[in-house]
Structure 1
Amino acid sequence: MTTSTIGPFPASATRTVRRGEVELAVYECGDPEGAPVLLVHGWPDTHLLWNRVAALLAGRLRVIAFDNRGAGDSSVPADVAAYRIEELAADVRAVIDAVAPGERVHVLGHDWGSVIGWELVSAPGAASAIASFTSVSGPNLDFLGAYLRGPCSLARLRGALSQAIASAYTVAFQIPGLPNPVLRVLSHRWPRFLAFFDGLNPELVETAPTLRADMINNLKLYRANIRTHLRNPRPRRIDVPVQVIVSTGDRAVRPVVNAEADRWVTNLTRSEIPAQHWSPISHPADLARRTAAFVDRFSADR
């Protein structure tokens, strides 16, 4: 059982949402009458990633988070195919339907949570359930694939090379078993690793007791999605309002991943923060302020 030692979320899940054979642990806090905002985490995190952001949003918004399949207190499917982003996006819709039936929800995603969010708002009819989407440090894989296959230019080559270097670790993640010994060691030193990699104060890093298993289980995200979407991208028009928050010092996700967004998103807002990759921990006030302002812009229909 995942327990939270700080932050606004309860220690135990407030409800469990079932989709097929997968059970998703959901955590809620904040103003039950406020506009609903759903927070989606990435690798190798759980809903605990959002503690500092949620604490700042909870004063006037209804804040909802959950552990993705394969993480925390949610189910852990065994098959790689179960971790396709289409499946995880469908999980998000299931949570929305369960916790806010008949409402349009605002979504904030980080890392793979942002990748999932992009898939969510690309689906037909997304605007009927999603009021807005804020993306932090996670690419639309189809946009990135289309960018890599675009007309050759020096600027495009530089951008592709920059992201290729940043994403080099994902090559090892594609090979079953290869990164596991390293991850087992890292799981015991994760706050210290983030201090080295991201410049974080390790005292701010809260890890779930499932971290070691979460790291290894969710390597399937990389194996199920990256090669498929980069080789055969299918970018789609997005009518949900999207806010892209770029962390200018992000060593894992470079700004070039958003180069195609203007072509496909009909209502796009961009901003920058002086953060590295784990901005929900290092810069919660910046994320909360920008997210709340974006929610306010698109909550009039409530």
Structure 2
Amino acid sequence: MRVIFMGTPEFSVPVLEALASEHEIVAVYSQPPRPAGRGKKDRPSPVHAKAVELGLEVRTPLNFKSSEDRAAFAALEADIAVVVAYGLILPQAILDAPAKGCLNIHASLLPRWRGAAPIHRAIMAGDTETGICIMQMEAGLDTGPVLLREATPIGAIETTGELHDRLSAMGARLILDALTRIDTLTPAPQPEAGVTYAAKIDKAEARIDWARPAADLVRHVNGLSPFPGAWCEVDGERIKLLRATLAQGIGAPGSVLGGFTIACGSGALEVLEAQRPGKRPMEAAEILRGLTLPARLD
């Protein structure tokens, strides 16, 4: 099939590679290069970089408000467009341009966790499973009918980074299946019950509040790992907590109970992996060889 691919972050890259192996990618759309790194030089998105590596044409419009950009999209005469974490709301003219419309790969079991951060929010909410939906796009935010869905359990201490990689691979596999069977799949409207929205992660919510229950904080730590990373201060140094599990023990919130086990509002949390500023992630035992915890954390 003649496919337009639209994506931006690392999550989208395995999907692009899978599609390019079996279909004709007539163009790749991605967010424009943004300043990144210490020098703040413009850096192409992961999808942009991979597309160049694959020898594919890349387009980076700021939006589709201009008639020229819409006409250029339509002129590709694509059979279908595949959208995964592109980062732009597509107007109806774009959704209607490909012969078979636009399909979106969404990392949740819709209608749960529509929106920007479904993987983070599923872990942070304590969901026991999530999955991938292949959705026929329409004007609403992740409201379209679902062509294919597949569920997967969320591990007890699985991080967003780990689940991200699993769901990315799942999405790549499912979209190939969907394109193979596109003329025989029946779109299923999303139920009105059970709608939730996955708000974009705000860095301000990353700081640990030890007064919260331990179970909540375990999900908080694992759900924000590796980015932006839940954190606490140790003698003025910001320490990222990258993996945690429930532990035995009680004490005043923030009290260090031994090792890297911290008392919470109820119960206790054991930090399994952490990261000091400018250092690589380390297991708790390794990081504690060079870091002395005070009796109580803020």
Greater helix share, structure number: 1
Greater strand share, structure number: 2
Task: Identify the structure with bigger relative contact order (alpha carbons < 8 Å, sequence gap 6+).
Answer: 1
State the TM-score, normalizing by the size of structure 2.
Answer: 0.24
State the TM-score, normalizing by the size of structure 1.
Answer: 0.24
Computing the radius of gyration over CA atoms, which structure comes out larger, 1 or 2? 2
